[in-house]
Structure 1
Amino acid sequence: MSGFTELFMNKEWRFWDQSMSGRASSALESFAADDMLCELVGKGESLPTIRTWVHEKTVVLGIQDHRLPHIGAGRKVIEEHGYQSIVRNSGGLAVVLDGGVLNISILVSEQHNAIDIHAGYDIMVEFVRHLFPQIADRIEAYEIVGSYCPGSYDLSVDGKKFAGISQRRLRHGIAVQIYLCIEGSGSERAALIRDFYESGLDGEETKFVYPVIMPEVMASVSEIMGVSVTVQDTVIHVQRLMNHMMSNVRMQSLQPTETDLYMFYLTRVVERNQKMLAKTDK
């Protein structure tokens, strides 16, 4: 907790909200933005940043997902559900993005003070507890078996997972990213990923053990709280929390001086995604 306070309290931060402006764009643009910020924040050329982002109806696949024996059939199932699929530039497994899922990236530098992996995750866990004080003491961080993209820092209440955290480290910068299922049905999103894996495996055994999805172990924040919570409500809470904790919050989107670096990372993630998906079409 002290590390969390030290990181945020009375410091100057940047807030970049793309929860509305980025909805129609590809999630690849968000991965490029975080890579760009990782480098700039890491080098001290940008303030530490919190970025909020939302993308419509996209299943983000991990590296292992695109190696499924029948990945083409799996991707077809995703399309039949009305979603597109991309392959992200970091680890983990398939996750669902849509208008009811808020993603938050916290970007910090470890140029002068090293931040270990666990500390990076703990920063986000504490941030989410501050974001949802009504359920803060009930939020637990441990792997929820049967969820999609399971990991040690799944966030849940009463065994129902509503969020997953990942990290990306680049040039002394750290991006701690979380997807928060805010609105809608967590189990319906999980059922989509269950159908994807069932078609992608088609009964075949693989060296890598893919998760067996149990939709009933996943829920949204709205379902957990029993009241309607919206993505936009949550973005407002993020901004209020930042204004409460930090000495100065700069509302700042992509700057002209950052465009070239952003385009460099965007080109890289787009080309990598095309290369990965080309293998799935064979």
Structure 2
Amino acid sequence: MYVVRGSLSDVDDDRRVTRQLVSTAERTDEPTLRVWMPPRQIAFGRRDSAADGYERARETAAERGYTPVERSVGGSAVAYTGSTVAFALAVPTAGGRGGIEDRYREATSTLGHALETAGATVARGEPDRSFCPGKHSLQGDGKIAGIAQRVRRESALIGGCVLASESDERAVATVLDPVYTALGVPFDPESVGSVEGAGGTADPERVIEAVETEFIDGREIAPLSADEVLEDDRP
């Protein structure tokens, strides 16, 4: 398994590193994992771009210091504060290795075990009117994590976010409230949770370590830095 470590301060560069995971998995026929803290941004889903209030939602994000971007997986907007943990796992699918629901089930189970290792008490599901609502979520005192998936012909990218601290929880609730209002999407700020709020660590680095360890699952790894991956992606 290839494991990419580190974050980049530039939002576009950081996103390019994550996109490159798929190419690495397809080229090497090996899973490629990244667990990190993306720079501050709000990632809008495809359905957001069709909303009447989309441009206002983007302006709202920018006014609050969050770079608005569009992502290819998932539903509604997700906020990354700079200390929010993200994970992305690219897996080769040639030869019919596993289906969509199998990958969702395995990723949700693996992430749940990781958060328990980080001290949190979690369960599957999410409260009503959660951010980026979806059935592949984990909750404690509120929604802690969500998982999405994008499938290509020869690979799949499974990704998600984890809120580690209660301060991150409050920041996400505060910025998403006006963003979701602009989009016309129901949202309850009280539905946002965190690993810390569920009894676990508030340290995102410890969450990263726990998530990475669970997804590696004892495999031999080939570590890469985000800078290396970005350099390989340059024309």
TM over 0.5, yes or no?
A: yes
User: CA 1:72 to 1:240, structure 2 compared with 1: closer, same or farther past 3 Å?
Assistant: closer
User: CA 1:135 to 1:64, structure 2 compared with 1: closer, same or farther past 3 Å?
Assistant: same
User: CA 1:30 to 1:111, structure 2 compared with 1: closer, same or farther past 3 Å?
Assistant: farther
Look up the match of 1:166.
148
SS at 1:224 equivalent: coil
User: TM-score, normalized by length of structure 2?
Assistant: 0.85
- 1:70–1:200 contact (8 Å) kept in structure 2: yes
Q: CA deviation at 1:61?
A: 0.9
- 2:130–2:187 contact (8 Å) kept in structure 1: yes
Look up the match of 1:36.
20
User: CA 1:168 to 1:95, structure 2 compared with 1: closer, same or farther past 3 Å?
Assistant: same
Q: What is the count of residue pairs matched by the alignment?
A: 234
Q: CA deviation at 1:72?
A: 2.9
Q: Which runs of 5+ in 1 are unaligned?
A: 1-12, 202-209, 265-282
User: CA 1:97 to 1:115, structure 2 compared with 1: closer, same or farther past 3 Å?
Assistant: same
- Structure 1 letter corresponding to 2:218: M
Q: Alpha carbon RMSD of aligned pairs, Å?
A: 2.8
Distance 1:134 1:48 in 2: 23
User: CA 1:35 to 1:171, structure 2 compared with 1: closer, same or farther past 3 Å?
Assistant: farther
SS at 1:92 equivalent: coil
SS at 1:222 equivalent: coil
Distance 1:82 1:128 in 2: 29
- Structure 2 letter corresponding to 1:15: V
Q: CA deviation at 1:241?
A: 4.1
Superposed CA offset, 1:164-199 (max 9, x none): 101112231111101001122424412322211323
Q: CA deviation at 1:38?
A: 1.8
SS at 2:132 equivalent: coil
Look up the match of 1:51.
34
Q: CA deviation at 1:46?
A: 5.1
Q: 1:177 and 2:170 equivalent?
A: no
Q: 1:213 and 2:187 equivalent?
A: yes
Q: CA deviation at 1:49?
A: 1.6
Distance 2:149 2:213 in 1: 24
Look up the match of 1:107.
90
Q: CA deviation at 1:41?
A: 1.3
Q: CA deviation at 1:89?
A: 2.6
Structure ID, larger Rg: 1
Look up the match of 1:15.
3
Match of 1:246 among 218, 222, 230: 218
Distance 2:73 2:168 in 1: 26
Distance 2:157 2:212 in 1: 18
Distance 2:39 2:230 in 1: 25
More off after superposition, 120-129 vs 74-83: 74-83
Q: CA deviation at 1:42?
A: 3.0
User: CA 1:144 to 1:128, structure 2 compared with 1: closer, same or farther past 3 Å?
Assistant: same
Q: CA deviation at 1:153?
A: 0.6
Alignment of 1:97-136 (within 5 A): 97-133=80-116
Q: CA deviation at 1:238?
A: 3.8
SS at 1:132 equivalent: helix
Distance 2:146 2:82 in 1: 17
User: TM-score, normalized by length of structure 1?
Assistant: 0.72
